[in-house]
Structure 1
Amino acid sequence: MTTERDVTSEPAGRKSNIEKEKTEVSFLYLSEEDMVDAGVLNAARCVDVMEETIGLMEDGDFIMGGPYNDAHGLMLYFPKKSPIENFPINNSRDRRFIAMPAYLGGRFHVAGEKWYGSNGDNRRKGLPRSILMVMLNDVETGKPLAYMSGNLLSSMRTGAMPGMAAKLLAVKNAKVLTLLGCGVVNKACLMSIMTVRPEIETIKIKGSSPTSKTALNMKSYIEKSYPRVKNVIICATMEEAVRDADIVSEAISCMAGQWPEVKREWMKPGLLYISSSTFNMDYKSIVDLKKVIDNYGMYENYAEEDELGYDEAGNRLHTGCMGEDFVYMVEDGLIERDSITQIGQIIRGKKPGRESDDEIILVSMEGMPIEDVAWAYECYTYALVHDIGTRLKVWDKPRAF
C-alpha cells in the first residue's frame, strides 16, 4: 500500500455490493501475513485514514454501540471466583472479551466489529495478551465482506491517532520526542509520528527501568529504523523524559492505580502531550492548559461506569485516563465543557488548533471501533484489488429451513 490511494473501485461502497442480486455469499479471509501484504503497517497512510475517519465522526456520519451510539464497546468481565465448576476465572490482571461494533459513512459506508479476547496469562504460553479479529459487513444486506487478523491492524490504528495529533498540533520543527512506555502501542505511535514529524532529532525513552529489555529493544529499533535521529536516550525518571520534550507520547502499561505522575513544572512551553492509555497529573495544574480529545461522549461513559469519588482529604481520585479526568473536572466545576476541544472540530475548522508556540496541549486518544473499521476497510479494498487473501464460501444459495 502506498501513501497515494491507488484503489479506484469501491468494492464495499454504496453501490457495488447491491447492484448484483445474487444468492451466493462469501467473504475474504485475511491472515496476519495477508494483512501485511495489504499494507496494514503503512503508518503514513493510516494517519491519513484516521484524519478522514475523525472528520466523518465530527460530521455525525457514524454509529458506535451503547445507548448514545458513542461507546468504546461492550465488555465481558470474568469474576475472581465462582461456585460453578470450570467457570472462567479472572486470575490474571486482564481477562476479558470486548465486542467493538461500528458503522462508518463517507466513502467507507460499511459496518464492522473488532472482537477482542484478552488474558494476561497468555504471555506464559507464548501468545500476545490480546488476540483480535475484525469483521466487515455490507451495510445494505448484512453480507460478510471480510474476516481478518486484527492485532497489527489494532496497533497501527492506535498509533496513527497520536500521529494525527502530532501532525495537527505539535510546534513547527519539533526536535525532541519522548516515548513514555516501550511496548507495542508506543512503537506504533513512534512509526506514525515519525511520518509526520521527520525533523525529530532526539528521541527519549522511559521504560520500567533503564536496563529493561523493552527499553533496550526500543532503542535498538529506533537506531536501526531511523538513522537520521541523532540521539536516542534511555531515561531513568519521568522528569528526565518529559523535560525539554516537544512531543510526548504516553503508552504506559501498569497496574490500575499505579500510574506514574507527571508534573506541570516538567513541561516546557509548546509541549504536545499525547496520552493513549495512562495519565496522572494534578487536576488543578491542568486547568489552564489546552485540552483536546477524540470523543467526549466516550469518556462520559467511562466516568459513569467508574463513578470515582474522592479521597479522605476531599480530592477527586484519578482514573488513569486523561479524557475521563477531564469529564470529572467539568463535573467538579474546575473547567467548562466548552474548554475541551474534540479533534474533529479542529479537522473541520470549527475550533483552532495550536494558537501559539508556547501553548501546552494535552491530548487524550483512547481508541474507538470506527478506527478499526476504517483501517480494516482500507486494507480490505487493497487486498481485493491486488488479489490478496482467501475467498471462503458461506453458501451458494441459502437453504430453506
Structure 2
Amino acid sequence: MDDKKRCETDILYLDEDQMIEAGVLDAGRCVDVMEETMGLLSDGDCLMGGPNHDAHGLMLFFPKESPIPGFPLNDSADRRFIAMPAYLGGRFHKAGVKWYGSNGRNRSCGLPRSILMFMLNDVETGMPLAYMSANLLSAMRTGAMPGLAVRHLARPDSKVLTILGPGVIGKANFLAVMSQMKNIDTVLIKGSTPASKSAKSFVDFVKAHAPQVKDVRVCATMEEAIRPADIVVEAISCKEGEWPEYKAEWFKPGVTFICTNAFNMDYRSIVDMRKVVDNLGMFVNYADEDDEGYDENGDREHTGCMGEDFVYMSRDGLLDLDTVDQIGDIVRGKKPGRKSDDEKILVSIEGIPIEDVAWGTECYENALKKGIGTKLKLWDQPKAL
C-alpha cells in the first residue's frame, strides 16, 4: 500500500440500501466467499477473540434484578449486547468487529429484535475503513454457511429441502442452499404453527425466489417435515431451555441436516451419524465455560447447541472428538466430503466473526468500485493534547 493511501482518513458509511446495492444479498457469491473464509480458518490465517483466538465474541448479559434504580434488566427475551472481533488473512487482510444489541420488545415498536452494525479496519494502521449496516450482512453470511455445507456434503440429486424456522435466517438459508442445489423441487416448511404468518409468508418467498420449486408445503409437525427430506436446515427461534426435540429415526439415509440454532437430540441416537462443525475450538470453549452437569437420571444435561454437545459426548466416551470434522478442512481437502449416498451427516454451525469480516470486506470493495456510500471525515489532522 502506498503512503498516500495508507494515510487516508475518510470512513465509508453504508446504510442498508447501499449495502443491497453493494451486493449484500448475493447468496451464491456469499457462499463462495464463505468457502474462502473456511479455508483460511483451516490454514490458521485468522484471529478471533479469547485466549485461544477462536471465540464467538464477548457478550453483555443483564441481571434479572438489581438494587440500582433504572439498571437495565434481563426482563425480555434475548436482551443482550455482543461484540464479535476478528482478523482475516488471505486476500482480505482486514480486521473488523460486529456489534449488536438485542431486545425481544423491539418488535412491539416495529424494530428488528437485533440491530447490528459492522466496523471494518485497516490491519496495518488501525484506521477505520467502513461502518456499515449489518443486519442483512449477518443474515446472509449465516445463511451462506448451510449453502457451503450442502455444496460439499449433500447428495447432488437432493430434491426435498426442509426449512425448520421460516424467519429471516430461514430465508437466508433457503437462498444459499438453492444457489447450490439445482434439483430441489419440493420445499417443506415448519413454523411455530401451520397457520403462523411466518410460515405462510415463507411460501410466498419460495414462489418468488425459486419458481422451479413445484411443491411448497407447510407441515403440521416436525416429523412430517423431516422424514421425506434430503436436506434439513434448522433455524428455529426459541427461548433458552425450550428447544425443540428431534428424533434420529426421523432422518432418512443420505440426509444432510444443518443446524444454525438450538435443539436437542438424544446423544446415543446420533453416535453413528457423521458430525461436522464450522469451528470445533469454539465449541470446546463453550463446553469449558458451561460445564454442563447431569440430570437426576444420570444423563448429561443438553445445552441446545449441538456442536457443544459433541464435546460433551466425547467427554462421556460416546465419540472420539477427532472424528468431528471441520468444514474448512473439507474445503482444503484435508477431510473428505460426503463418503456415501447413505451417509447421514449432522452439521452444527454457530457462526464466527471472520465470516462478517469476509462478507463485509466483499461489500466494502464492491461499494468502492461502484462509488456507493457516504464518506465521513474522521479529522483533517489528529489533534494532540
TM-score (norm 2): 0.98
Match of 1:220 among 193, 196, 204: 204
Query: Is the CA contact 2:47–2:54 (under 8 Å) kept in the aligned structure 1?
Result: yes
Write the distance in 2 (CA, Å) between the matches of 1:272 and 1:258: 24
In the TM superposition, residue 24 of structure 1 has moved relative to its aligned partner by: 4.8
Write the distance in 2 (CA, Å) between the matches of 1:65 and 1:20: 31
- Provide the residue aligned with 1:395 in structure 2: 379
What letter corresponds to residue 186 of structure 1 in structure 2?
Answer: G
CA displacement, residues 206-241 of structure 1 (integer Å, 9 cap, x when unaligned):
001111111001011112221110100110011101
Pick closer, same or farther for the CA change 1:167–1:21 going to 2, 3 Å.
closer
In the TM superposition, residue 279 of structure 1 has moved relative to its aligned partner by: 2.3
- Provide the residue aligned with 2:289 in structure 1: 305
Match of 1:56 among 37, 40, 45: 40
Matches within 5 A, 1:79-158: 79-158=63-142
Q: Which structure 1 segments of 5+ residues have no match?
A: 1-14
User: SS of 1:330's equivalent?
Assistant: helix
User: SS of 1:186's equivalent?
Assistant: helix
User: SS of 1:335's equivalent?
Assistant: coil
Write the distance in 1 (CA, Å) between the matches of 2:8 and 2:24: 29
Query: Is the CA contact 1:24–1:395 (under 8 Å) kept in the aligned structure 2?
Result: no
Count of aligned positions: 385
Query: Is the CA contact 2:78–2:102 (under 8 Å) kept in the aligned structure 1?
Result: yes
In the TM superposition, residue 396 of structure 1 has moved relative to its aligned partner by: 1.4
In the TM superposition, residue 265 of structure 1 has moved relative to its aligned partner by: 1.2
User: SS of 1:148's equivalent?
Assistant: strand
- Provide the residue aligned with 1:377 in structure 2: 361
In the TM superposition, residue 133 of structure 1 has moved relative to its aligned partner by: 0.3
Query: Is the CA contact 1:24–1:396 (under 8 Å) kept in the aligned structure 2?
Result: no
Write the distance in 1 (CA, Å) between the matches of 2:75 and 2:100: 18
What letter corresponds to residue 161 of structure 1 in structure 2?
Answer: M
Write the distance in 1 (CA, Å) between the matches of 2:163 and 2:293: 31
Give the stretch that moved more between structures: 219-228 or 196-205.
219-228
Alignment of 1:170 onto 2:178: no
Write the distance in 1 (CA, Å) between the matches of 2:30 and 2:69: 45
Query: Is the CA contact 1:23–1:397 (under 8 Å) kept in the aligned structure 2?
Result: no
- Provide the residue aligned with 1:364 in structure 2: 348
- Provide the residue aligned with 1:244 in structure 2: 228
Alignment of 1:45 onto 2:29: yes
In the TM superposition, residue 22 of structure 1 has moved relative to its aligned partner by: 6.5
Write the distance in 2 (CA, Å) between the matches of 1:86 and 1:362: 45
User: SS of 1:379's equivalent?
Assistant: helix
- Provide the residue aligned with 2:10 in structure 1: 26
In the TM superposition, residue 21 of structure 1 has moved relative to its aligned partner by: 6.8
What letter corresponds to residue 275 of structure 2 in structure 1?
Answer: K
Match of 1:265 among 238, 245, 249: 249
Alignment of 1:321 onto 2:305: yes
- Provide the residue aligned with 1:233 in structure 2: 217
Write the distance in 2 (CA, Å) between the matches of 1:20 and 1:78: 45
Write the distance in 1 (CA, Å) between the matches of 2:302 and 2:76: 23
Q: Which structure 2 segments of 5+ residues have no match?
A: none
Point out 4+ residue stretches in structure 1 off by more than 6 angstroms.
none
User: SS of 1:70's equivalent?
Assistant: coil
Match of 2:261 among 266, 273, 277: 277
User: SS of 1:20's equivalent?
Assistant: helix
Query: Is the CA contact 1:294–1:343 (under 8 Å) kept in the aligned structure 2?
Result: yes
In the TM superposition, residue 244 of structure 1 has moved relative to its aligned partner by: 1.5
User: SS of 1:395's equivalent?
Assistant: coil
What letter corresponds to residue 272 of structure 2 in structure 1?
Answer: D
- Provide the residue aligned with 2:189 in structure 1: 205
User: SS of 1:93's equivalent?
Assistant: coil
User: SS of 2:3's equivalent?
Assistant: coil
User: SS of 1:355's equivalent?
Assistant: coil
CA displacement, residues 93-137 of structure 1 (integer Å, 9 cap, x when unaligned):
211100100000000000000001111111111100000000000
Write the distance in 2 (CA, Å) between the matches of 1:202 and 1:94: 33
Match of 2:275 among 263, 267, 291: 291
In the TM superposition, residue 305 of structure 1 has moved relative to its aligned partner by: 2.0
Query: Is the CA contact 2:244–2:263 (under 8 Å) kept in the aligned structure 1?
Result: yes
In the TM superposition, residue 173 of structure 1 has moved relative to its aligned partner by: 1.2
- Provide the residue aligned with 2:315 in structure 1: 331
User: SS of 2:241's equivalent?
Assistant: coil
In the TM superposition, residue 317 of structure 1 has moved relative to its aligned partner by: 1.1
CA displacement, residues 267-326 of structure 1 (integer Å, 9 cap, x when unaligned):
111000000002211100111110000001111111122221111000011111110110
In the TM superposition, residue 62 of structure 1 has moved relative to its aligned partner by: 0.1
Write the distance in 1 (CA, Å) between the matches of 2:46 and 2:152: 22
What letter corresponds to residue 361 of structure 1 in structure 2?
Answer: I
TM-score (norm 1): 0.95
Write the distance in 2 (CA, Å) between the matches of 1:205 and 1:170: 19
Pick closer, same or farther for the CA change 1:320–1:83 going to 2, 3 Å.
same
Query: Is the CA contact 2:165–2:236 (under 8 Å) kept in the aligned structure 1?
Result: yes
Write the distance in 1 (CA, Å) between the matches of 2:227 and 2:5: 61
Query: Is the CA contact 1:23–1:396 (under 8 Å) kept in the aligned structure 2?
Result: no
Write the distance in 1 (CA, Å) between the matches of 2:162 and 2:319: 28
Query: Is the CA contact 2:6–2:125 (under 8 Å) kept in the aligned structure 1?
Result: no
Write the distance in 1 (CA, Å) between the matches of 2:64 and 2:77: 10
- Provide the residue aligned with 2:168 in structure 1: 184
